[in-house]
């Protein structure tokens, strides 16, 4: 006869199962996959092409763009994308997504650097041209002087300057880090 207080009596079938995942944890994982799917849907086509995806998953993500957001159909489609993501390997997808998104951040940081260079050239003139040419010998000092002179003349007449845009393009084209 067994004693009622025996610990074997109160054991649950999953107490010794290390692979047990609670329903709450399953829901969290599902929501995380849906969020990753939403990030993939929000990418441009060129960005999405840089990420290696299963062909069926890729087509499903592209199709999500044709569905009107904030509708029930869109919500169900996003759940479907989450379901498809469960069978895919997430780590390579997440790594590729991080790389694509970080590349865009780096590009915008580079653009800001060129903007600041242009502003310094317009405000400080020849001194800044000399400093810039010393740091980047591939730059043409004469061309920079002409562009800066022209930009200053144009900026005196109005807020827009074609030469200032040319300075930006020239710096971006010549200085490659």
Q: The whole model's pTM is what?
A: 0.50
Given this model, what pLDDT does residue 71 score? 92
What SS3 class is residue 71? coil
CA 147, 150, 154 angle in degrees (round to 5)? Answer: 135
Given this model, what pLDDT does residue 72 score? 94
Given this model, what pLDDT does residue 54 score? 86
DSSP classification of residue 88: S
Written as one string, the DSSP assignment of 4-69 is TT-HHHH--TTTT-TT---HHHHHHHHHHHHHHHHHHHHS-HHHHHTS---HHHHHHHHHHTTSPT
Assigned superfamily of 103-174: PSPTO4464-like domains (1.10.60.30)
pLDDT tens for each residue of the chain, 177 residues long: 455 555 555 555 555 566 787 889 888 888 888 888 888 888 888 888 888 888 898 999 999 989 898 899 999 998 898 888 888 888 888 888 888 888 767 777 778 888 888 888 888 888 888 888 888 888 888 998 998 889 888 888 887 778 888 888 888 888 765
The boundaries of every CATH 1.10.60.30 domain in the chain are 103-174
Closest CA to 100 of 148, 36, 164, 173: 36
Q: Which CATH number fits domain 21-95: 3.60.21, 1.10.60, 1.10.8, 1.20.140?
A: 1.10.60
């Amino acid at each position: 006869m067994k004693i009622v207080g025996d610990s074997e009596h109160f054991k649950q079938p999953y107490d010794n199962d290390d692979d047990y995942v609670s329903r709450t944890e399953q829901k969290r994982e599902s929501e995380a996959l849906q969020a990753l799917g939403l990030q993939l849907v929000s990418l441009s086509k060129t960005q999405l092409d840089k990420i290696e995806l299963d062909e069926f998953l890729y087509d499903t993500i592209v199709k999500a763009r044709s569905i009107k957001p904030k509708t029930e159909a869109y919500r169900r489609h996003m759940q479907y994308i989450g379901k498809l993501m469960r069978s895919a390997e997430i780590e390579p997808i997440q790594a590729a997504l991080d790389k694509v998104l970080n590349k865009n951040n780096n590009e915008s940081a580079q653009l800001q650097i060129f903007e600041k260079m242009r502003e310094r050239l317009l405000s400080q003139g020849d001194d800044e041209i000399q400093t810039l040419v010393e740091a980047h010998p591939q730059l043409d000092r004469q061309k920079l002087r002409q562009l800066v002179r022209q930009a200053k003349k144009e900026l005196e007449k109005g807020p827009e300057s074609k030469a200032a845009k040319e300075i930006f393009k020239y710096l971006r084209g010549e200085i490659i880090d």
